[in-house]
Structure 1
Amino acid sequence: MKLFELDTYIKHSKIVALIAIAIAIIAWIMDIGGMVYECPYCRVQRSVIGILGLILILPISFHWIGKYAALVIGFFGAVVAANQHFMGWKKVSAGEFQLNLPVDPFILSGLALTMIMGLIYIIMVKKR
């Protein structure tokens, strides 16, 4: 398995989908359990990641309606993630940024944006 080739992720799209769904479920459990700050941006991003994972694992991902739904839902999540990420860059530029590893919203929104765009890509190029 070649980790840095897109074909690997397309070929193993079911595994990618299950990982996305698991990330969304774990993040929601942490949110509901009060382990993380109740952030509306984060809630949108984790929900979109889970929904895109569901679309990817279901047969609807081959149909144009599934692909269209993935684009609409995915780009909504990407815009939210980009806005949150930009707010982090704004703090960096103002000299107010403080890194709070491992759950810094700046890092997590960047990862969410990357994951959302990757899931959209896989859904769009996936063939039967």
Structure 2
Amino acid sequence: MGLLDLNTYTNNRKIVAVIAILISITAWLVELMGAVYVCPYCRVQRTVIGILGIILILPFVYHWMVKYIAIVIGLFGAVVAANQHFMGWKKISAGTFEFNNNVLIDPFLLSGCAMFLITGLVLLIINLEININPPLNH
């Protein structure tokens, strides 16, 4: 069981799902408490992460229609994250980029993390298959 082994994540999909849902809930709570500014990009990303986490827990996640829905939702979230992230790259090119005073809530870093997380969740959902006849362990 290695961190770079895809089977680690497929075999522990419910743990991955709970982590994604907790990230989403925590991000929403931070905004609702007023600790960060209201950002429509961030709202989409955190919501998509939560929805993909919920999809990952579903017992019928193996169905092609659920996978299709996850791809559509994930693509939307990834595009929003990429757009927000690209705004940071535009500032870098213009020489005006600065990290947020609180680097933990920097939109450039968070949107990059969201792109990785959303893409990973979608790929995990797509990769799931029903193991009707699992291989025998020798």
Fold match (TM-score > 0.5): yes
Please say if 1:93 is aligned against 2:93: yes
**How far apart, in 1, do the equivalents of 2:42 and 2:105 lie?**
11
1:89-128 CA-to-partner distances (Å, cap 9, x unmatched) read: 0011111111121211000000000000000000001112
Task: Between 113-122 and 1-10, report the one with greater CA deviation.
Answer: 1-10
**How far apart, in 1, do the equivalents of 2:107 and 2:23 lie?**
16
**How far apart, in 2, do the equivalents of 1:70 and 1:33 lie?**
29
**How far apart, in 1, do the equivalents of 2:42 and 2:66 lie?**
24
Task: Between 7-16 and 87-96, report the one with greater CA deviation.
Answer: 7-16
**C-alpha deviation, 1:9, in angstroms:** 1.2
**How far apart, in 2, do the equivalents of 1:76 and 1:18 lie?**
21
The structure 2 residue matched to 1:112, chosen from 111, 114, 118, is 114
SS in 1 for 2:98: coil
CA RMSD of aligned residues (A): 0.8
Aligned residues with identical type, % of pairs:
61
**How far apart, in 1, do the equivalents of 2:104 and 2:22 lie?**
18
Report 1:1-128 matches (<5 A).
1-100=1-100, 101-128=103-130
What is the identity, as a one-letter code, of the residue corresponding to 1:110?
Answer: G
Count of residues paired in the alignment: 128
What is the identity, as a one-letter code, of the residue corresponding to 1:30?
Answer: V
Determine which structure has the larger helix proportion and give its number. Answer: 1
**C-alpha deviation, 1:60, in angstroms:** 2.6
SS in 2 for 1:3: coil
**How far apart, in 2, do the equivalents of 1:93 and 1:8 lie?**
39
**TM-score of the superposed pair, with normalisation by structure 1:** 0.97
**How far apart, in 2, do the equivalents of 1:77 and 1:60 lie?**
22
Any stretches of 5+ residues in structure 1 without a counterpart? none
Any stretches of 5+ residues in structure 2 without a counterpart? 131-138
1:34-72 CA-to-partner distances (Å, cap 9, x unmatched) read: 111100000000000000000001113111111011011
**C-alpha deviation, 1:33, in angstroms:** 1.2
SS in 1 for 2:55: helix
